[in-house]
Amino acid sequence: MTGPAPDGPAPDGQDDVDQVSALSDHDTVWPDDPFAPLDLPTQRRDARERAVTLLYEAEMKSVAGTEIVDELTLAPDPMASELVVGVTDKATLLDEHISASLDKSWSLHRLAVLDRIVLRIATYELMFRPKVPTGAAINEAVEMAKRFSGPEAGKFVNGVLSAIARSVR
């Protein structure tokens, strides 16, 4: 492989060709490749976050989450769709479990919208997705709450979901 000329890259663009040849010769993937496949935990996290955004949109428009999914030009990840449909279909039951786990001085509708959505998704996973480990469901929800609402929301979500997990698992 030829290196750059002492004053910079080769004038004929040969360096670019050599770099591409080197990649294909050694099957090297660049670590920051935006087109590289994501690992499974990252795909699941992305699906959960997509479900949060879709359910948030539904809440802001006062429509069912399934209506938002149906209107999309490009269908979301199957897991995101499952979460939106499941949370929408089981919302009353999920809200009952969340309300029962809140301090008596709190009501479900007093919660921040994003915290309520994160709690619904995690409660759905705890109740209806038995293959999802309890710790994974809670941890993902805590991380989303911290990301969308702040560090205190993570602590709050952790406490509520721990109580729900004890009652449903």
Q: How confident is the model over 59-74, as a mean pLDDT?
A: 96
Q: Options 1.10.940.10, 1.20.140.10, 3.40.720.10, 2.60.40.10; which CATH number does 40-168 get?
A: 1.10.940.10
What DSSP state is assigned to residue 39? Answer: P
pTM: 0.77
Q: Where are the domains of the chain?
A: 40-168
How does pLDDT run across 67-100, given as a tens digit for each residue?
999 999 999 999 999 999 999 999 999 999 999 9
Tokens coding 74: 């490009």
Which residue has tokens 């039951």? 93
The encoded tokens of residue 88 equal 């929408």
Q: How far apart are CA 84 and CA 93, in angstroms?
A: 15
Helix, strand or coil for residue 163?
helix
How is residue 6 annotated by DSSP?
T
Identify the CA nearest to 118 among candidates 101, 81, 143.
Answer: 143
Locate 127 and state its tokens: 């109740």
The DSSP-derived string for 116-137 is: HHHHHHHHHHHHH-TTS-HHHH
| pLDDT tens column, 30-45 | 556 666 666 777 889 9
- Structure confidence at residue 20 as a pLDDT band (50, 70, 90): very low
Residue 29 pLDDT > 60: no
Q: Say if CB 59 and CB 40 are below 8 A apart.
A: no
Mind listing the pLDDT tens digit for each residue in 93-131?
999 999 999 998 889 999 999 999 999 999 999 999 999
Nearest-angstrom CA–CA distance, 89 and 27: 46
When pLDDT is cut at 50, 70 and 90, the band that residue 53 belongs to is very high
